[in-house]
Amino acid sequence: MAAAAEGVPAGVGSESSAPPVCVLVLGMAGSGKTTLVQRLTAHLHSQNSPPYVINLDPAVRELPFPANIGE
């Protein structure tokens, strides 16, 4: 419960939680990668399971979804 109060997604660090899922999204320009990640992020937030989003495209300066990588 303390982890949820600190902004850590539910289940992180819990021994009884399932292993984390990592999703890599690759594709051609204009194929809908950003739209997919935006909608997936919105869905996970609605389920009270906020994801960690990492953008590895050096050409992208701003994202239409919040990146929440911190300390």
Q: Cβ(41)–Cβ(51) under 8 Å?
A: yes
Please report which confidence band the pLDDT of residue 8 belongs to, taking 50, 70 and 90 as the band edges: low
pLDDT per position as a tens digit, 18-28? 888 888 999 88
pLDDT per position as a tens digit, 20-61? 888 899 988 889 988 999 999 999 999 998 888 887 777 777
Secondary structure (DSSP) of 4-38? HHTTPPTTTT-TTSPPP--------TTSSHHHHHH
